[in-house]
Amino acid sequence: MVSSRSHKLSVREWVPLAPLHTFASHGQARAHVELISQEQLSELSAQYTAWPQPVWVLGSGSNVVFADDFPGTLVINQLKGRHCLQEDQATGTAIWRVCAGEQWHDWVAASVAAGWSGLENLALIPGTVGAAPIQNIGAYGVELSQVCVGVSAWHLPSGRMQYFDRAACAFAYRDSFFKRAAEKGHWLIVSVDFRLSRTFQAQLTYPALRDYPEPLTDAQAVFDAVCQIRQSKLPDPSVLPNAGSFFKNPIVSKTVAERLRQVLPDLPMYPVASSSGSAKLSAAYLIEQAGLKGFNWAEVGVYGQHALVLVRHQPGTGRAVLELTHHIQHLVQERFEVALEPEPLIWEGPSEL
């Protein structure tokens, strides 16, 4: 159930950033507030203009980069609880409401173990449920948008709750209404509604699942396979700090795709359902072809086993991450005339204020 604990907001000042995000850059946040009950939302809004600005909502910090000290307020979402809103025995479907501070993977594991299908391809994605709609998380051919029916969000500046159905969320590839610049920091996602099914619908188009050596005949088998594949490919942020895929796969026009096919005949390209003729390119391949796989820059680098992941080898600030980001973007642009857009939210420094 949704937590109803009443608790006055407690603010901490000048809090270390490293434990708050998986890239673990050194630095400090001016103010830090933990949100543990929905009753605190009104207080959060009443004091909104008094908080050091900007105000950013964070979950587990697995998709953010701090290149500098953060002069604003970080609101850490810890709203817990999940419950079934309605179950339809005839269709074998149910709608579940899950609070934003729940850990995503725990929710996926619990739903699959309880016999529900829909989330199994999204196993082992770090972070919270509330962050999942922000970039419409996706993996192995499934996106959150396929199972999300709506989002309850609190408008921080005005102090009101609003329900966004799927259309209002404006989900797109690694994007949503909430990720857009104008809305950044204004909406705090409180809970997410999911439609799950008792019927397993296999989505096994990605090579790692299609060619999996064991039969994947139910949601639990897919869940287990995804966990196994991810653990073998991706660096564990607690061992090698990182933010997952650092760049989005670029979506380009047919003309650009044809030009690139001439210079890079093996460049992986995938059709984009929402935009006929466009192609989604592999950013990892472009970075690798630019000679950057395994490339190190100060205390950070491009992961040797996966060119899309930037990692931290040594403790340090986030400045080197930003420099490496610019270096990669510059080289890929120069070599292939393709713009790479970072996936994580990046705090570059006070010039953003």
**Which entry of 60, 62, 191, 245 is annotated as an active-site residue?**
245
- In angstroms, the CA 97 to CA 240 distance is 33
Distance of closest approach, residue 265 Cβ to ligand FAD, in angstroms: 28
Residue from 16, 115, 157, 268 in contact with ligand NAP (CB under 6 A) = 268
Residue 208 makes contact with ligand NAP by CB under 6 A:
yes
- Give the residue with the Cβ less far from ligand FAD, 135 or 282: 135
Contact 299, 315 (CB under 8 A): yes
Residue from 27, 244, 250, 318 in contact with ligand FAD (CB under 6 A) = 244
First to last CA, the chain: 38
Residue from 233, 254, 261, 330 in contact with ligand NAP (CB under 6 A) = 233
Distance of closest approach, residue 101 Cβ to ligand NAP, in angstroms: 20
What does the per-residue mask of binding to ligand FAD show for 90-109, with x meaning CB under 6 A? ----------x---------
- Give the residue with the Cβ less far from ligand FAD, 130 or 281: 130
What does the per-residue mask of binding to ligand FAD show for 74-93, with x meaning CB under 6 A? ---x----------------
Residue 135 makes contact with ligand FAD by CB under 6 A:
yes
The residue behind tokens 């404006």 is 170
- In angstroms, the CA 242 to CA 229 distance is 18
Residue 129 structure tokens? 């449920």
Q: Is 245 a catalytic residue?
A: yes
Query: Biggest alpha carbon distance in the chain?
Result: 62
- In angstroms, the CA 310 to CA 1 distance is 38
Q: Is 13 a catalytic residue?
A: no
- Give the residue with the Cβ less far from ligand FAD, 132 or 260: 132
Angle at 160 between CA 11 and CA 6, to 5 degrees: 45
Contact partners, residue 196, CB within 8 Å, separation at least 6: 93, 94, 96, 111, 116, 117, 118, 119, 147
- Omega within 30 of 0 (cis) for the link into 54: yes
Residue 234 makes contact with ligand NAP by CB under 6 A:
yes
**Which entry of 82, 97, 174, 195 is annotated as an active-site residue?**
174
Residue from 17, 36, 41, 59 in contact with ligand FAD (CB under 6 A) = 59
What residue 282 binds from ligand NAP, ligand FAD, none (CB within 5 to 8 A, per partner kind)? Answer: ligand NAP
- Give the residue with the Cβ less far from ligand NAP, 139 or 151: 139
Contact 338, 286 (CB under 8 A): yes
Q: Is 191 a catalytic residue?
A: no
What residue 77 binds from ligand NAP, ligand FAD, none (CB within 5 to 8 A, per partner kind)? Answer: ligand FAD
Residue 61 makes contact with ligand FAD by CB under 6 A:
yes
Residue 125 makes contact with ligand FAD by CB under 6 A:
yes
**Distances 82 to 22, 36, 139, 191, 265 between C-alpha atoms, Å:** 25, 14, 23, 9, 48
Binding site for ligand NAP (CB under 6 A): 138-141, 205-206, 208, 233-234, 244-245, 249, 268, 270, 282, 343
Catalytic residue numbers, as ranges: 174, 245, 343
Binding site for ligand FAD (CB under 6 A): 22, 56-64, 77, 100, 125-128, 130-132, 134-135, 137-139, 187-189, 234, 237, 242-244, 345
